[in-house]
């Protein structure tokens, strides 16, 4: 059996896959993609629709889109299970995954890529998203309840870009949403999380470069 990940160190979506593979104790080959210089032929051939990472090649068959890849990993290697066993709880996990996919990264982008009023609007929107995510967590330790689970993987991976949002938005997640900040901290205590995440300072540098590339700075 072979597993190859078309990867990019700073991609929060690739983090999802690295983290899920780590949770399952699966070893794989990571192929780092040069997203700005030139993508590999393998990436273009494997994901011709979006030409994006992550792509997981399982015995050379491409599995696409980070959430879909994590569902696939969880179905193919069920232990330890990331999705809950009960179908209602699974439907909630899918709901929140969809919410996260529609709201977190793209709203964050308005903060780090926007100008003036757009940044302020993005920041307000992000605060509302955080409040909703805080409500979903409730008093539980993890989104999965007592165990770290699927929604935790989906969201904590994206949190590696939060320091960038804080820098350009001029706010602190810990002040706006202490519960989310505490949950992130707790997740980072897991070895699987810590080793799958990029260095947030490098992400800030990357975003600085993207802003120059797009003429924001």
The reply on whether position 204 binds ligand GS8 by CB under 6 A is no
The reply on whether position 65 binds ligand GS8 by CB under 6 A is yes
Piece of 59-67, 137-145, 147-155, 172-180 that binds ligand GS8 (CB under 6 A): 59-67
Which residues on adjacent β-strands are paired with residue 113?
Answer: none
Sort strands 3-7 and 55-58 into parallel, antiparallel or unpaired.
antiparallel
In angstroms, what is the minimal distance from the CB of 175 to ligand GS8?
Answer: 26
Piece of 19-27, 48-56, 88-96, 167-175 that binds ligand GS8 (CB under 6 A): 48-56
125, 126, 131, 145: which is closest to 179 by C-alpha?
131
The reply on whether position 11 binds ligand GS8 by CB under 6 A is yes
7, 12, 59: which is closest to 35 by C-alpha?
7
Among 22, 53, 56, 129, interactor with ligand GS8 by CB under 6 A: 53
Choice between 113 and 174, CB closer to ligand GS8: 113
Residues 6+ apart with CB under 8 A from 170: 123
In angstroms, what is the minimal distance from the CB of 60 to ligand GS8?
Answer: 19
Residues 6+ apart with CB under 8 A from 32: 7, 8, 9
In angstroms, what is the minimal distance from the CB of 123 to ligand GS8?
Answer: 20
Residues 6+ apart with CB under 8 A from 210: 112, 113
Piece of 52-60, 78-86, 111-119, 138-146 that binds ligand GS8 (CB under 6 A): 52-60
Interface positions with ligand GS8 (CB under 6 A)? 8, 11, 13, 35, 51-54, 65-67
């Amino acid at each position: 059996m072979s597993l190859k990940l078309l990867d990019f160190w700073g991609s929060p979506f690739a983090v999802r896959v690295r983290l899920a593979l780590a949770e399952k104790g699966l070893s794989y080959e990571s192929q780092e993609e040069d997203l700005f210089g030139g993508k590999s032929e393998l990436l273009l051939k494997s994901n011709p629709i979006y030409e994006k990472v992550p792509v997981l090649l399982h015995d050379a068959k491409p599995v696409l889109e980070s959430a879909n890849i994590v569902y696939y990993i969880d179905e193919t290697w069920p232990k330890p299970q990331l999705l809950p066993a009960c179908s209602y709880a699974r439907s909630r996990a899918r709901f929140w995954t969809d919410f996260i996919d529609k709201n977190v990264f793209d709203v964050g982008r308005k903060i780090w890529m926007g100008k003036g009023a757009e940044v302020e609007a993005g920041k307000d929107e992000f605060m509302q998203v955080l409040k909703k995510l805080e409500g979903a967590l409730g008093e539980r330790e993890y989104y999965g309840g007592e165990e770290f689970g699927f929604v935790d993987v989906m969201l904590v991976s994206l949190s590696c870009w939060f320091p960038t949002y804080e820098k350009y938005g001029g706010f602190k997640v810990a002040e706006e949403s202490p519960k989310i900040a505490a949950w992130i901290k707790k997740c980072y205590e897991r070895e699987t999380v810590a080793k799958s995440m990029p260095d947030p300072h490098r992400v800030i540098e990357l975003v600085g470069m993207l802003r120059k590339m797009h003429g924001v700075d």
